[in-house]
Amino acid sequence: MAAKPNLPKGTRDFLPEQMFRRQYAMNLIREIFEKYGYEPLETPSIERLDVLSGKYGDEGEKLIFKVLKRGTGLENLLHEQDQFVVRKYQDLVDEALRYDLTVPLSRVVAMHQHGLVFPFKRYQIQPVWRADRPQRGRYREFYQCDVDTVGTESMLADAEAIVIVYEVLTALGFKNFRLRINNRKILNGILHYAEVKPEAENSALITIDKLEKIGFDGVKNELQEKGLTATSVNRIFSILEITGKPKDLLSELRNSFSEIDSLRDGADELEEICDYLPDFGVPDAYYDIDLFLARGLGYYTGPIHESIVEEPKIGSLSGGGRYDQLIGMFLGRDIPATGVAFGIERIIDVMAQLDMFPPSRTKTRALVTIFDETTRATSLKFSQELRKSDVPTESVFDPSKLKKQFTYADKRGIPFVVIIGPEELAQNRVTIKEMKTGEQKTLDWGKAVEFLRER
């Protein structure tokens, strides 16, 4: 009996029209990365489990896809008995699918530090896997597009990451988006001010980051459910609820809580970033300081940021920040780093929903028909002439009525159809039909090639 064709949950097939859209978005992003001097990097799909473990916080750790170790003998046990006991977890699992692109980058830097030029500016566009609950805009297998700078403490690197987000979203056609910026040092200072115990800080940050989902009351209630006193929660909110334009908000933070070193340092860093953004051409209207932004991953140490669209409500399109201690977990000494990851799947979903993609369904620009067997050779030669001139061209494999060949071009979205019939063959000319307008013109070979190349 044939197996029923099904996909694993949270995964998708991408048919050609979808792939053209994905390539359009990824190629544009890649061009912007390279325009800023970032270089490509790829890492394996699987990493050692000990490389990934302990980097993402409690919530992230649960979503790591573990890879069953080869040679465990499980297959034999399953044939012999229905139940068995696993005595050591590491006997079953020692590798996992890549959860993100930042931890693999950190491993690469630790392994190849002497062969890299610092600051090391890299971009990476590869799939990652998370054992998440599939839902709209959230998948178990998806691509990330990361850009990172390793080896500098300068806030210019953080500002540049934010600028790249602005440029990417603008170039893709987004208009109604916001860049939310905060600093983990500010959040750490707030938790210190509220006398939150160190072991409860990460859990508290995860709850604070849920404001968009559960609202102010929901955050307050969840913090108390996690053991924070009402006094601590009130102290937290006395700072988090400070709003205003970036300069005004940061000034109030420094003036009102100057005794909290971490908070003051974080505010200074954000003010420096905000001073740089206008120099890069980022309008004030596109970014603000959001003290509730925490970013769930455990490795952030400084400025953090994400981008969101006003409509549709689909979550963040990008997220990133500074992680000055992550590489040190592999190397034994810290190397500063900062960057941003684009949620390319969400970006593509939103662009499709808002009809933001160019209309073309194919990269083929011309279909060269075959009139009959007597014209086949000439049609194939003209196809090659077009390809040599960098015109993406399809040749017909199975000669059929011209009407059928035109129908094929129409369904594929091919803009031009070339006809070489007996009359054209005798005159060493070709006829070109533009599918959108129905207009036809007959030209000499050279002029026909030039006409199609220009279009």
CATH code, domain carrying 95 = 3.30.930.10
What's residue 335's pLDDT?
Answer: 97
Give the chain's residues under pLDDT 50.
none
Q: Cα torsion at 27, 29, 35, 38 (round to 10°)?
A: -100
What's residue 60's pLDDT?
Answer: 83
CA–CA distances in Å: residue 431 to residues 3, 47, 441: 49, 56, 6
What's residue 326's pLDDT?
Answer: 94
User: Residue 7: inside a domain, yes or no?
Assistant: no
**Do residue 326 and residue 208 come from a single domain?**
yes
What's residue 314's pLDDT?
Answer: 78
What's residue 93's pLDDT?
Answer: 85
**How do residues 226-280 score in pLDDT, each as one tens digit?**
889 999 999 999 999 999 999 999 999 988 888 999 999 999 999 999 999 999 9
**Do residue 40 and residue 129 come from a single domain?**
yes
Taking each helix axis from N to C terminus, what angle separates 155-172 and 16-35, rounded to the nearest 10 degrees?
140
**Do residue 289 and residue 391 come from a single domain?**
no
Tell me which residue range forms the domain holding 411. Answer: 366-454
**Do residue 400 and residue 292 come from a single domain?**
no
Q: pTM of the prediction?
A: 0.88
What's residue 86's pLDDT?
Answer: 64
User: Residue 1: inside a domain, yes or no?
Assistant: no
What's residue 85's pLDDT?
Answer: 66
User: Residue 303: inside a domain, yes or no?
Assistant: yes
CA–CA distances in Å: residue 257 to residues 2, 231, 254, 273, 274: 68, 17, 5, 20, 20
User: Residue 358: inside a domain, yes or no?
Assistant: no
**Do residue 199 and residue 301 come from a single domain?**
yes
**Do residue 62 and residue 90 come from a single domain?**
yes
What's residue 73's pLDDT?
Answer: 60
User: Residue 359: inside a domain, yes or no?
Assistant: no
**Do residue 234 and residue 265 come from a single domain?**
yes
CB–CB of 143/342 below 8 Å? Answer: no
Number of domains within the chain: 2
